[in-house]
Amino acid sequence: MLAVERLSHWFVNGGEETPVLHNIHFTVEKGEIIALLGSSGSGKSTLLNLMAGLMKPSKGSILINGHPIEKMTENQLAEFRRTQIGFIFQAYELIPHLTVRENVELPLVFQGIKAKLRKEKALFLLAKVGIGEKSELFPSQLSGGQQQRVSIARSLITEPAIVFADEPTGNLDTKTEKEIIDLIIELNSTLSITFVIVTHELEVAKRTRRVIQLRDGFLVEDASWAGEPE
Ligand SMILES: Nc1ncnc2c1ncn2[C@@H]1O[C@H](COP(=O)(O)OP(=O)(O)O)[C@@H](O)[C@H]1O
Ligand SMILES: [Mg+2]
C-alpha cells in the first residue's frame, strides 16, 4: 500500500543544505496502524509531508498503491491528495464559521458530491466518532477532544487509502488523548483504515502494533508486536 524506498531529504535555503532524512526505508500494508515516533526535530513532519505528496523527496521514492508520487504532475498530485489521503492535524484546523457537519462535508464539496449524499456520509461518520448529536454546532462550541473527533471524521469522508495524523493528541490532556487514540484504533480495526500516527510520546506509540522510530533523521527502529498492544 505505502512504500518508502531509500528516501533522503534535505532543505536548501540560500545555498545552505540542511539534511533532514537519511535513507529511510519501510513499507506499510493495507489495514495497518503504525506509530512514527521521534523527538522534536527528528524529521517526523517532514517524512509525513513527503508521504502525503506535499513536497518531493531529494532522493528516493514513495509509492502509494504502486504509484511513485514524486513522478506525478501537480494536477495528478492534487487529485491524489484529494482522494487517497486523509490528514489529521494537531490543532484540528477546522473552519470556524462552518458547522461541525459542514466541516466534515467540505472535502466532498471540492469533489462536487451532491448535498444529500454529503450530509448522509457526514452524519454517519460523526456518529461513528461519537459526536452525532453535535452536528449543527460550531467548532468553538466543542471541547478540544470533540474538535479532534470532527477532524477525524473529516479525514475519513473521502474514503482515503491512508490517513496521516501529525501529533493528533498534542493539544489534549492525558485522558482525552487516550480516548482519541482508542477511537483511532477502533476505526482501524472496524473500518480497516490504514493509519500512520506521528507522535513524540512513547505512551501513544505503545498503543499501536508497530512503531517506527526516527532519531536525527535516521530510522533507528521498526518493531512490531504480535500480541495485544498495551
Ligand atoms: N523548510 C525547512 N527548511 C529548513 N529546515 C527545515 C525545514 N522544515 C524543517 N526543517 C528542519 O528539519 C528538521 C526536522 O523537522 P521536522 O520534520 O519538523 O521534525 P519533527 O516533526 O520530528 O519535529 C528540523 O531540524 C527542522 O528545523
Ligand atoms: Mg512535527
Average pLDDT over residues 15-25: 96
The reply to whether 7 falls in a domain is no
CA-proximal residue: ligand 1, atom 1 (nearest): 11
**Over the stretch 73-95, which tens digit does the pLDDT of each residue have?**
999 998 888 889 999 999 999 99
Ligand 1 atom closest to the CA of 166, numbered from 1? 21
**Over the stretch 169-213, which tens digit does the pLDDT of each residue have?**
999 999 999 999 999 999 999 988 999 999 999 999 999 989 999
pLDDT at 100 over 60: yes
pTM beyond 0.75, yes or no: yes
Ligand 1 atom closest to the CA of 43, numbered from 1? 17
CA of 45 to the centre of ligand 2 (A): 4
The reply to whether 134 falls in a domain is yes
Q: Is the beta carbon of 18 within 6 A of some atom in ligand 1?
A: yes
The reply to whether 199 falls in a domain is yes
**Over the stretch 139-153, which tens digit does the pLDDT of each residue have?**
999 999 999 999 999
Q: How far is CA 99 from CA 5, 122, 123, 130, 134, in A?
A: 41, 11, 12, 16, 9
| Mean pLDDT estimate for the chain | 94
Q: Is the beta carbon of 192 within 6 A of some atom in ligand 1?
A: no
The reply to whether 218 falls in a domain is yes
When divided into structural domains, the chain yields a total of: 1
* Closest ligand relative to 20 C-alpha: 1
Range 93-118 burial, b when 16+ CB lie within 10 A, else e: ebeeeebbbbbbbbbbeeeeeeeeeb
Give the CATH number for residue 53: 3.40.50.300
pLDDT given at position 167: 95
Q: What angle do CA 115, 103, 160 make, to 5 degrees?
A: 80
The domain in which residue 216 lies consists of: 30-57+73-224
Q: What angle do CA 155, 91, 87 make, to 5 degrees?
A: 25
pLDDT given at position 97: 98
| Rounded CA separation 40/152 (Å) | 23
pLDDT at 158 over 70: yes
CA of 20 to the centre of ligand 1 (A): 7
The reply to whether 102 falls in a domain is yes
225 confidence band (pLDDT: 50, 70, 90) = confident
pLDDT given at position 49: 93
**Over the stretch 39-74, which tens digit does the pLDDT of each residue have?**
999 999 999 999 999 899 999 999 988 889 989 999
CA dihedral 33, 38, 42, 47 (to 10 degrees): 0
CA of 41 to the centre of ligand 1 (A): 6
Closest CA to 169 of 130, 137, 201: 201
The reply to whether 214 falls in a domain is yes
pLDDT given at position 230: 56
The reply to whether 18 falls in a domain is no
CA-proximal residue: ligand 1, atom 12 (nearest): 20
